[in-house]
Amino acid sequence: MSNDLASKLREGTKHSHTAAENTAFTKCFLKGVVKKEFFRKQVASLYFVYSTLEEEIQRHINHPLVSLIYFPELERKAKLAEDLAFYYGENWQEEIVASEESKAYMARIQEVANTEPALLVAHAYVRYMGDLSGGQRLKGIARSAMNLPPDVGTGLHEFDQLPTVEVKRAFKGKYRDTLNSLPVDDSLAEKIVEEANNAFTLNRNLAQELEPDVIAAVGKQEFESLTAKEQPGSTEKAVTR
């Protein structure tokens, strides 16, 4: 019987989703302000996050819930490594370090993996479904803003086994069906939604950490102009004030 976890996650994280979309970094990004100097730092932070998430999912691959939401075609670590080689060179592993916010994100993933692995469902949902949804728009903006060569620099949002819009849409439906099939009661569903909100906060912190780099690139006055207006969230209807 369906537990409707997919709808609970969507509805229960709307405000957190909107808050994440309204970080100054993201508002600049959506307006085409994307520079290699800070984009590659974001890629590095996400490399550390995904490495931890995918390691913990693999470690709990036999868990009754984690096993069901494991889809190898979603894994991002290898794609991010390709991006880092492009932005930093072949010695990229010697060039990058985990930022403070990426360390906090990694620590939270490890904590839930060690105490209540079912909550890894929340972290997988927030990251992977974001990459397949709004992330596709971000990919186009980044490619245009940085004038990237074909097939490099935006591997985070490239899913080789899900190559078209139609295939991605069908997969997202399959993923939602999988969430709804998970053997969770109301109490666990509530915990998963709460953890998804935590994940959005952690992602928001990653973005906010990059704001000084954006200011350095565009200047404080331009930064304030770009970020002054609050935007309605993509998962919420605009509210008329």
Closest by CA position to 152, among listed 80, 77, 73, 206:
80
Q: What pLDDT digit, counting tens, does each position of 35-49 carry?
A: 998 999 999 999 999
- Domain region containing 190: 5-227
On the question of pLDDT at 241 being above 90, the answer is no
> Token digits for 228?
């002054």
pTM: 0.90
Lowest mean pLDDT among 38-47, 179-188, 214-223: 214-223
Helix count and strand count (H, E) for the chain: 13, 0
Residue at 169 is within a domain = yes
Residue at 239 is within a domain = no
pLDDT computed for residue 233 by the predictor:
53
**Over the range 87-96, which residues count as b (16 or more CB within 10 Å of their CB) and which as e?**
bbeeebeeeb
Residue at 234 is within a domain = no
Closest by CA position to 74, among listed 151, 15, 160:
160
Residue at 92 is within a domain = yes
- Per the structure, how many domains does the chain have? 1
Residue at 80 is within a domain = yes
Q: What pLDDT digit, counting tens, does each position of 193-215 carry?
A: 999 999 999 999 999 999 888 88
Residue at 47 is within a domain = yes
Residue at 26 is within a domain = yes
CATH of the domain at 10: 1.20.910.10
Residue at 232 is within a domain = no
